[in-house]
Amino acid sequence: MKALVILAILLGVMAMLSPRLSADKTENSAKAVALNYAVFRNAAFQYALSNKPSGVIVQSSLSLPTGWKALRTWSARVQSGVCYVYGTASGEEVTAARELLQGSLAVGQALNGYLIPDGKTPVPSFVPSGNLVSVVAVGTN
């Protein structure tokens, strides 16, 4: 009987902690995606700034860390001297990326053709609405 009471108490404690553990897992997952994006983003920007390409930047041309694997399908493209790095991400992942990149106005979510949160930076139609996106001017050759 005592064993059942102790078991019931332990199950109760586990039930109380379970939502918090789940929230931590979601937050850590969002941070992992944000970091993964930031690594790709930085490599794409470095490539674009050094090479002044036009069009799609293929992942194989980037200097990514050994063993790095994309957690999402990240894309990079230069158009009219501006590099756009983008990909599908949840709201939590967009927030985590903005926090990781210290609230930069050059990173956010593409909505209705603009970069949110500033709402002033235009985003071309090849970046799907709702995507996590970063924008930087890289010039042209």
**In terms of DSSP bridges, do strands 107-111 and 75-79 run parallel, antiparallel, or are they unpaired?**
unpaired
The more confidently predicted of residues 23 and 105 is 105
Once rounded to an integer, what is the mean pLDDT over residues 64-69? 94
CA 75/CA 8 separation, integer angstroms: 50
On the 0-12 / 13-18 / 19+ scale of CB atoms within 10 A, 116 is middle
User: Residue 54 sits in which domain range?
Assistant: 30-137
The pLDDT value given to residue 28: 74
Question: Does some domain include residue 20?
Answer: no
The CATH number of the domain where 60 resides is what? 3.30.450.360
| 87-109: pLDDT as tens digits | 999 999 999 999 999 978 899 99
In the predicted model, is pLDDT for residue 111 greater than 60? yes
Measuring CA to CA, which residue among 55, 95, 100 is closest to residue 109? 95
Question: Does some domain include residue 74?
Answer: yes
Once rounded to an integer, what is the mean pLDDT over residues 33-47? 96
Measuring CA to CA, which residue among 49, 51, 33 is closest to residue 87? 33
Question: Does some domain include residue 45?
Answer: yes
In the predicted model, is pLDDT for residue 65 greater than 60? yes
Domain count, the chain: 1
CA 99/CA 32 separation, integer angstroms: 12
The pLDDT value given to residue 103: 77
Question: Does some domain include residue 80?
Answer: yes
How many percent of the chain have pLDDT more than 90?
Answer: 72
CA 100/CA 94 separation, integer angstroms: 10
Question: Does some domain include residue 14?
Answer: no
Question: Does some domain include residue 126?
Answer: yes
The more confidently predicted of residues 15 and 100 is 100
Question: Does some domain include residue 68?
Answer: yes
In the predicted model, is pLDDT for residue 33 greater than 90? yes
Question: Does some domain include residue 15?
Answer: no
State the pLDDT confidence band at 8, using cuts at 50, 70 and 90. very low
